[in-house]
Structure 1
Amino acid sequence: MIHNPPTLIGFIITVVFYGWAIIEGILQLLGMVLHNPALGWALLPYNPFAVKYIAAFKPPSITHLFGTDNLGRDLFSEILYGTPTEALISILVVGSAVLIGGLIGMISGYFGKYVEEAGMRVTDMFLAFPAIILALAVEAAIGRGAINAAIALMVVWWPTYARLFRAETLRVKTQHFIDAARLSGSSTISIVFKHIFPNVLTPVISYATIDLGNVILSYSIISFLGFGVPPPYPEWGRLVSEGFQYFPAPAWWYAIIPGVVITIVVIGLALLGDGISEYITSGGITA
């Protein structure tokens, strides 16, 4: 993968994104625990919450790399400060989708018949609605906020993984080592989790990597529509939404730059996921 330029670019973008999210997230958490919010922006050029009207709508420059917003806040600092939320939600949603969808998909594929029919019909019910629309409906019912947005996305994100795990389980369960496990007296739980799960997980890895970007994009849409964390906490999607009020003048950068950042991260994860998929297909990882 290292010798594949697109994959290498995707890897670098992914490492930078999640690496910074971890560092900044730890600082914000320490700030909360120690009742010292300033720790959250200790590594940032500016306090992302500091209002300075005299500096409003400053274009990108050496002083303000991404320019300033309508309240004079440094856009670069706001984007960096909001990174942990985007990263955490992507991990939570994809992780829960793998667990929930994986469990339903493997049980359906392994047992077949009525169990498979019931599991797949429930899955089809969720797949019948566009995920983002259903997520908005769920969040409208439970309330706004980052946690509720994550829950809403978790509710609608697992069906695709259920289908994927089911298909892979149907393939794996016909292998001879599964028959050997049955003949050796292994329990159903042991066969599913010790033999089937590791072998169906490999092809899921590349899809999940790409899907991290899809979650970030979907969460950005949710926050763009005003269903994310309420102001003044900086969210990438809401920054785009607020910036559109001042596009193209007096501040074209207000909406464009956060949108570009979202695009770069999503493309980076897609490039890495494609690279992993090619690596698996070429035999770099064997099930």
Structure 2
Amino acid sequence: MYESKKYLTIAWILVLPALLIRIFTTIYPMIETFRISFFDVKLLSGINEFVGFQNYLDIFHDTKVRESISFTIVFVVGSMVGHIVLGIILALILNMKIAGQRILRTIVLLPWAMPMVVIAMASKWAFNNDYGLINDFLRWFNPSFNLDWLIHTDTARSAVIAVDLWKDLPFFAILILAGLQFISSEIYEAGKIDGAGAIRSFFKITLPLITKNILVLSIFFTMWRITSFDVVYGMTSGGPGESTALIAYRITTEAFTNLNTGYAASIAVVLFFVMAMLSGLSMSASKRVDY
């Protein structure tokens, strides 16, 4: 009995530093953000007044926040549809037994290994109408092609989604590939005996067996998309106007540009509860998927 208590005490002593760091870096900021959301805190004017739920009510009347929420939904849906469809295709290609397979998998991962801010700033140049790589390539097919991607709302939004997809698609595909590796070749051989071709094998064998992998990955990638900030910060700074300002970028702007920290905290709290709700629903759905 004494020995077990001794080992338990040692275990707590070893875990305590990590636990304290976690409390300081996670729990305390969450509590402080929730507290500040009930105050009107403006650093420039020195205002720090309790306003109750006024900050939360202001969210519903803020057109900039509504536009940010609108684009965030478009961004998340567009990006995740691309991740799932193209990710499965890329994973199937990487799963083929071809020469240089390992080198190909390494090359594919290079975009994911690069920092998003670097990619976003490079993309800002690439999408430039006068000297950008994208338009130079398109002018090979149409010499009169002329489009400044980041000036117009629709094209700027499409460009942001495309860059986000290009950055994280390889990692998504590699994780799908890991699921494909666990499918036994005997199952495919049995399918061939039953007369199943490549397309039928995909829909009857491959897709059902990796569906749960895709769903779980989609949960985490969706959460990351909702909190995306760096791609907009480095590429468009929310422009043109406020059309590409994701909700995380709007929070940052309110907190560090407008120095309206109370209002920024209230938006962050709402985002936290939305993500918690979506995460709970997604995890519940993933448990019910069984093939």
Tell whether 2:149 aligns with 1:163. no
Partner of residue 257, structure 2: 245
TM-score, length-scaled by structure 2: 0.61
Tell whether 2:74 aligns with 1:88. yes
Which of 91, 99, 103 is the aligned partner of 1:114?
99
- Letter aligned with residue 269 of structure 1: L
Partner of residue 115, structure 2: 130
**CA distance in 1 between partners of 2:270 and 2:281 (Å):** 17
**CA distance in 1 between partners of 2:241 and 2:231 (Å):** 14
Q: Do 2:87 and 2:169's aligned partners in 1 also have CA atoms closer than 8 Å?
A: yes
Aligned pair count? 215
- Structure 1 residue 171 displacement after superposition: 1.2
Alpha-carbon spacing, 1:61–1:211, altered in 2? closer, same or farther (3 Å) = same
Alignment map for 1:146-157 (pairs within 5 Å): 146-157=157-168
1:25-77 Cα shifts (integer Å, max 9, x gaps): xxxxxxxxxxxxxxxxxxxxxxxxxxxxxxxxx98577774448xxxx943x5
Partner of residue 132, structure 2: none
Residue 240 of structure 2 aligns to a residue whose secondary structure is coil
Tell whether 2:208 aligns with 1:204. no
**CA distance in 2 between partners of 1:194 and 1:107 (Å):** 18
- Structure 1 residue 274 displacement after superposition: 3.9
**CA distance in 2 between partners of 1:207 and 1:89 (Å):** 17
Gaps of at least 5 residues in structure 2 are 1-48, 128-148, 151-155
Alpha-carbon spacing, 1:140–1:100, altered in 2? closer, same or farther (3 Å) = same
Higher normalized contact order (CA 8 Å, seq sep 6+, divided by chain length): 2
Tell whether 2:278 aligns with 1:269. yes
TM-score, length-scaled by structure 1: 0.62
Q: Do 2:64 and 2:242's aligned partners in 1 also have CA atoms closer than 8 Å?
A: no
Alpha-carbon spacing, 1:115–1:205, altered in 2? closer, same or farther (3 Å) = farther
**CA distance in 2 between partners of 1:115 and 1:179 (Å):** 25
Alignment map for 1:180-259 (pairs within 5 Å): 180-218=190-228, 220-224=229-233, 226-233=236-243, 235-243=246-254, 244-247=256-259, 251-259=260-268
**CA distance in 2 between partners of 1:166 and 1:158 (Å):** 12
Task: Report the structure number with the largest CA radius of gyration.
Answer: 2
Q: Give me the identity figure in percent.
A: 14
Q: Do 1:92 and 1:150's aligned partners in 2 also have CA atoms closer than 8 Å?
A: yes
**CA distance in 1 between partners of 2:159 and 2:222 (Å):** 18
- Letter aligned with residue 170 of structure 1: Q
